[in-house]
Amino acid sequence: MSDLFSVAGRTALVTGGTRGIGLMIARGLVEAGAKVYVSSRKPEACEAAAAELNQHGEAVALPADLSEEAEIARVAEELSAREQGLDILVNNAGATWGATLDEFPVSGWDKVMDLNLRSPFLLTQALLPLLRAAGTPDSPARIINVGSIDGLHVSPLPTYSYAASKAGLHHLTRVLAKELGPQHITVNAIAPGPFESKMMAATLAAVGDQIAASAPLRRIGRPDDMAGVAVYLASRAGSYVTGAVIPVDGGIGTTV
């Protein structure tokens, strides 16, 4: 069983990997044996996260602003110079925006849609040669897209572009899974519910108790909950799973 859920010897890139859900996933992969590149916009945040993760395994800082096409190309070039293949790509970097329907700005729509949906597509496209090089019939390369339960149900919050981007990412996951499966690459999505993160901090501070009470499991997500599903999808245990969108939300998005 320890081998079934091991990712020892594999290489991963986790975008938005310096805090919140991204850091939870990065730590899970490191502790399961992977070498993990962590990426975010701020170099100092990448270095701090890598230093923390290196206490548990092997991590490398790879700062980049993935809202920029040139930065996506640079990440692909740097990884190609350092690695012969990429076993695991976690598309987690994202943003949200809240405003009433009458006042929701074009800038809030474009920023969120670009980072949450356009950037994962372009980064996946840029890294396909490395993913193809790593994947085999018995051990496919893995793409894990981080969506949201807000892409599965209707959130009470006025985050229109966020919900639309995550629903789009879920369906993009299925489209890519069909195309890339024959190339020995699986594509799955995780749809988190409420977890402690910077994005959720204000909401949890205001109504965290009510959110926890609304979940059938009566709590907010914990780091191990997120790490566990990511390691499952990235390990041999998940090698025959593709095109799936897995809610990790205590039942909020699937039963409420």
The pLDDT assigned to 181 comes to 98
pLDDT tens digits for 155-192?
A: 888 999 999 999 999 999 999 999 999 999 999 999 99
Q: What topology does CATH give the domain 11-255?
A: Rossmann fold (3.40.50)
**Which range, of 34-43, 85-94, 165-174, 211-220, averages the lowest pLDDT?**
211-220
Query: Among 37, 160, 162, 232, which one carries the catalytic annotation?
Result: 162
The pTM assigned to this predicted structure is 0.94
User: Does the active-site annotation cover 240?
Assistant: no
Q: How confident is the model at residue 207 (pLDDT cuts 50, 70, 90)?
A: confident
Q: What is the 3-state secondary structure (H, E, C) of the chain?
A: CCCCCCCCCCEEEEECCCCHHHHHHHHHHHHCCCEEEEECCCHHHHHHHHHHHCCCCEEEECCCCCCCHHHHHHHHHHHHHHCCCCCEEEECCCCCCCCCHHHCCHHHHHHHHHHHHHHHHHHHHHHHHHHHHHCCCCCCEEEEEECCHHHCCCCCCCCHHHHHHHHHHHHHHHHHHHHHHHHCEEEEEEEECCECCCCCHHHHHHHHHHHHHHCCCCCCECHHHHHHHHHHHHCHHHCCCCCCEEEECCCHHHHC
Summary mean pLDDT of the chain? 94
Highest mean pLDDT among 34-38, 206-210, 212-216: 34-38
